[in-house]
């Protein structure tokens, strides 16, 4: 699979006249087409709803685009709840999935009418105390323990994850909640991350459907919605094939029919909670090559750093690089492409074959639309970059300005030391 930028060098040269690099940019057309595709794939389920994982790309402009396609939001913190509220999401359009949750966040989620997704059985009492009583609708997070494996060798380790309840705990939690007036129940699970396979969702769905049958048999509770959460990945490397959302959905439908409908459990709504799948391919980080260094290795220094995109530094994640304007040139050089942080892991690429890069070249870092800007930070006093939107008509709109030194200094509150910079 060839990775093709959604921006050309000519477009970038025009944009930098107004917005100096580095910046993140999102492709509105791609986002909209993908949201339509997801809804079409799951149209067989009349209760289907995507709860966009705000943590992936917390920007109101992006959230409002997805809202047009019936998406709700999945929130994990007070600020994400506040942002969702400000964007007009309310009630059952908000899923609050948190862990080790401060008490005031449970209260605020309840005030908004959000669906609270409990991470632990002990949180039942916690929510009841802060809210006065339990909401009529509740969800619980399921963790089966052990190792979750797929036939293609992909595996993850739920038993080593801090999230969710054991199956026995979750059933006990439902019994307790039912005794306290809860009427509507849902279950949720996230058992593997960034899976580039059509097998993951159907396998997870079958396991959750079978668990819903067990819940009905042991408690007489009908699970009304099942949240398959996230985990559908994208092909970060050019040699990987993308997931087929229609094949994935057909696999979920088959499990739905064979497990739920076969056990007379009908009209269960399927929820998803996708971030990476919804946004990652439709975002890029644009950075300029500003230095070249030759010592034991050949380095290209750029004006972005791990503060703009943490994933490669944090866990060695691969992001494809395109040297704009040189898409058809031979990859004749081997570079480490690095940022300016005082950390040796501040590298966007290691031993990467690329066309010869000159200072002033613009590098397009692919697939940063999710968990890109969102994971930014201020180490070394680095400032977060702007976020731009490439609109369907080809124009560019700033949807978050770049931070300034005034933003960085504004939280200091001692002796007016920084006043000269705040004026």
Per the CB < 8 A criterion, the answer to whether 113 and 136 are in contact is no
Beta bridge pairs of residue 322 = 364
Q: Which two tokens stand for residue 117?
A: 């997704």
Q: Where are the alpha helices (DSSP H) in 190-231?
A: 200-219
Residues 141-178 as b/e (b if ≥16 CB within 10 A, e otherwise) read bbbbeeebebeeebebebeeeebbbeeebbbbbbeebb
- H or E element that contains 224: strand 223-227
Per the CB < 8 A criterion, the answer to whether 278 and 39 are in contact is no
Per the CB < 8 A criterion, the answer to whether 363 and 22 are in contact is no
Structure-token match 């703009």, residue found = 308
Sequence-separated (6 or more) residues with CB below 8 Å from residue 255: 202, 205, 206, 209
Q: Which two tokens stand for residue 39?
A: 């809804």
Q: Where are the alpha helices (DSSP H) in 293-382?
A: 311-315
Distances, alpha carbon 209 to alpha carbons 151, 223, 255, 371, in Å: 20, 9, 8, 30
Please tell me whether the peptide bond between 22 and the residue prior to it is cis, using omega within 30 degrees of 0: yes
C-alpha to C-alpha distance for 378 and 307, rounded to whole angstroms: 6
- Catalytic positions are 342
C-alpha to C-alpha distance for 187 and 271, rounded to whole angstroms: 10
């Amino acid at each position: 699979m060839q990775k093709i930028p959604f921006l050309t060098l000519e477009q970038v040269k025009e944009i930098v006249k107004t917005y100096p690099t580095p910046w993140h940019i999102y492709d509105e057309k791609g986002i909209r087409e993908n949201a339509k595709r997801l809804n079409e794939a799951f149209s067989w389920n009349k209760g289907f709803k995507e709860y966009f994982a705000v943590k992936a790309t917390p920007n109101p402009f992006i959230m409002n685009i997805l809202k047009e396609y019936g998406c709700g939001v999945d929130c994990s913190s007070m600020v994400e709840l506040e942002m969702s509220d400000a964007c007009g999401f309310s009630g059952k359009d908000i899923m609050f999935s948190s862990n080790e949750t401060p008490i005031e966040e449970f209260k605020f989620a309840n005030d908004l009418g959000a669906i609270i997704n409990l991470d632990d059985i002990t949180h039942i009492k916690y929510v009841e105390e802060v809210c006065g009583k339990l909401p009529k609708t509740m969800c619980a997070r399921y963790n089966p323990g052990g190792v979750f494996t797929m036939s293609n060798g992909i595996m993850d380790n739920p038993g080593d994850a801090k999230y969710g309840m054991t199956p026995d705990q979750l059933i006990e939690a439902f019994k307790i909640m039912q005794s306290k007036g809860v009427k509507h129940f849902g279950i949720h699970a996230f058992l593997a991350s960034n899976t580039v396979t059509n097998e993951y969702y159907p396998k997870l769905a079958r396991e959750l459907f079978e668990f819903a049958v067990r819940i009905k048999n042991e408690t007489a509770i009908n699970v009304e919605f099942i949240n398959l959460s996230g985990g559908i990945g994208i092909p970060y490397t050019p040699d990987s094939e993308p997931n087929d959302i229609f094949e994935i959905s057909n696999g979920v439908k088959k499990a739905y029919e064979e497990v739920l409908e076969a056990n007379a459990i009908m009209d269960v709504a399927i929820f998803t909670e996708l971030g990476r799948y919804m946004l990652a391919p439709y975002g890029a980080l644009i950075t300029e090559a500003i230095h070249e260094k030759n010592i034991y290795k050949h380095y290209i220094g750029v004006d972005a750093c791990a503060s703009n995109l943490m994933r490669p530094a944090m866990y060695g994640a691969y992001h494809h690089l395109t040297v704009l304007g040189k898409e058809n040139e031979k990859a004749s050089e081997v570079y480490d492409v690095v940022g300016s942080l005082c950390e040796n892991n501040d590298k966007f690429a290691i031993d990467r074959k690329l066309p010869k890069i000159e200072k002033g070249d613009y590098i397009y870092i692919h697939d940063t639309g999710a968990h890109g800007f969102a994971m930014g930070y201020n180490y070394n006093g680095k400032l977060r970059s702007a976020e731009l939107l490439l609109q369907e008509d080809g124009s560019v709109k700033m949807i978050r300005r770049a931070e300034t030194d005034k933003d960085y200094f504004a939280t200091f509150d001692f002796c007016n030391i920084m006043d000269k910079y705040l004026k």
